[in-house]
Structure 1
Amino acid sequence: MKILSVSTATNFLTISLNEDEKVIKQVEEKDQRNHSEHLDPMIDKLLKDCNLSLKQIDRLAVAIGPGSYTGLRIGITTMKMFASILNKEIVGISTLQALAANKQAADSLTLACLDARNNNFFAGAYVNGEAVIADGHYSFEALLEELKKVLAEKNIQKLIILGSGMEKHEDLLNSLPCDIIWGNEEENLVHASQIAKLALTSEVIDADQLVPRYLRRTQAEMDWHKKTGKPFEPDSNYVEEV
């Protein structure tokens, strides 16, 4: 199965073409914020380099969040458009699950996190690929308590930390009753090749039902709620309204 996968969730733009578990070609740009300008040309070049067209792709996969609100919309909208026009299968993959896939071990807990500023994090924790702390928006203090609980309950002695921002709290993390393994530069980035591998066994959904998972309210939603007094609605309602 040929899978074209994309992540625009962070300032790291990554695109991959996989044949089942094999990575055929992956192209990436670090510290780029103009995803709307670069995504389509990079996809086009990748496919041309592999002598393929979009029509020959079997499945599309995209990171659906958490991450940059604008970045997520760019990647998801692009892949939804391809899926709808070409009638292709499409899968949405957690940004944190893809990040956690970079480094796992049978006897370890893998924490995947993205710095959400002000000592808050988008984070999730995984054991053998299974989520044991659900993807969410956590204060550092709340996340630390969740880690303590899981480490104790599952008697885990090693904690792998991937992503961004946690190094600021190294002293407090070292108080945890486990060995800590920090990811290297490449392991701390979301790679589209991991998204493609996860997409092999993930559920295909209707392209119209694929929406971002922001995991916290946008400022626009907060302003709308304050102005109207109406209760918050599912993310899909806001996406369809736009």
Structure 2
Amino acid sequence: MKILSITTATNHLSVAINDDKQVIAEKNEVDQRNHSEHLDPLISEILKENNLTLNDIDRFAVAQGPGSYTGLRIGITTAKMFASILDKDLVGVSTLASLAQGVDAGDSIIVAELDARNDNFFAGGYVKDDNGVKNVVADGHYHIDDLLNKVKAAAGNKKVIFVGSDIDKYQDQITSIWPEINYQQAPAGANQVHAANIGLLALDSEAIDPDKMVPKYLRRTQAELDWHKKTGKAYGPDSDYVEEV
């Protein structure tokens, strides 16, 4: 099965082609911050360089979240369009799971995390074996104190590997909450979201109707928060609040 995978969830743009568990190719752009302009050309390049067309792809996979609100919509919209027009499978993959997939874990718990500022993180805890990654701390939007307490409860005596945003600047907070923690940051290359890892996770994932795929932000947008504060109404479906703005 040939899988074309996309991630625009962070400042790292990545596109890959996998054939079952084999990574055929991956192309990356780091910190360009203009994914809307670069995504389609990058897809065209990787297909052309590997003598493939979109019609040769059996399944499209995309980082579904968490991540940048705008970034997620760019990647998801592109993947949905391809899958819908070509009548191919579409799979959404957790951005955090794809980070965990890229770590050589051993007997460790992997904390995949993206800094959400003000001591908050998009994060999830994972363990990894020959069968892939398993989520043991649910993906969510956590204050660092809450995150560490949940990881501590799940980790037991396991070593902790952080992957994603640089955790070293939080060292004092980490050790004050969990003095006996044995942790490290993943190697530099693993701390970016790679499309090839999305493709590996997508191989055995359930396909979704393109019309039903939406980003998994894991927290309310500022517009939703402002709308709720203004109207006092309960949160509804993803776009209800737009009519009130």
Q: Same fold (TM over 0.5)?
A: yes
The count of aligned residue pairs is 237
Q: 1:222 aligns with which of 221, 225, 232?
A: 225
Alpha-carbon displacement from aligned partner over 1:57-76 (angstroms, at most 9, x marks no partner): 00000000000000000000
Aligned to 1:135: 139
Deviates more, 1:68-77 or 1:177-186: 177-186
Alpha-carbon displacement from aligned partner over 1:112-142 (angstroms, at most 9, x marks no partner): 0000001100000001211111000000111
* Distance (Å, rounded) in 2 between the aligned partners of 1:117 and 1:165: 12
Give the letter for the 1:168 counterpart.
K
Aligned to 1:146: 150
Alpha-carbon displacement from aligned partner over 1:2-21 (angstroms, at most 9, x marks no partner): 00000000000000001111
* Distance (Å, rounded) in 2 between the aligned partners of 1:106 and 1:167: 21
Give the letter for the 1:102 counterpart.
G
Aligned to 1:194: 197
* CA displacement at 1:164 relative to structure 2: 0.4
Give the letter for the 2:12 counterpart.
F
Aligned to 1:156: 157
Asked if structure 1 preserves the Cα contact closer than 8 Å seen for 2:167 and 2:185, the reply is: no
TM-score relative to the length of structure 1: 0.93
* CA displacement at 1:106 relative to structure 2: 4.2
Aligned to 2:167: 166
* Distance (Å, rounded) in 1 between the aligned partners of 2:239 and 2:60: 20
* Distance (Å, rounded) in 2 between the aligned partners of 1:168 and 1:25: 34
Give the letter for the 1:126 counterpart.
Y
CA RMSD of superposed structures (Å): 1.7
Q: Does the residue aligned with 2:99 lie in a helix, a strand or coil?
A: helix
Structure 2 counterparts to residues 76-115 of structure 1, below 5 A = 76-115=76-115
* Distance (Å, rounded) in 1 between the aligned partners of 2:25 and 2:240: 36
Asked if structure 1 preserves the Cα contact closer than 8 Å seen for 2:227 and 2:241, the reply is: no
Structure 2 counterparts to residues 8-23 of structure 1, below 5 A = 8-23=8-23
Q: Does the residue aligned with 1:25 lie in a helix, a strand or coil?
A: strand
Aligned to 1:179: 182
Q: Does the residue aligned with 2:229 lie in a helix, a strand or coil?
A: helix
* Distance (Å, rounded) in 2 between the aligned partners of 1:220 and 1:68: 14
Q: Does the residue aligned with 1:105 lie in a helix, a strand or coil?
A: coil
Asked if structure 2 preserves the Cα contact closer than 8 Å seen for 1:148 and 1:176, the reply is: no
TM-score relative to the length of structure 2: 0.92
* CA displacement at 1:98 relative to structure 2: 0.2
* Distance (Å, rounded) in 2 between the aligned partners of 1:109 and 1:92: 23
Alpha-carbon displacement from aligned partner over 1:81-109 (angstroms, at most 9, x marks no partner): 01111101000000000001111434210
* CA displacement at 1:224 relative to structure 2: 1.8
Give the letter for the 1:226 counterpart.
K
Q: Does the residue aligned with 1:80 lie in a helix, a strand or coil?
A: helix
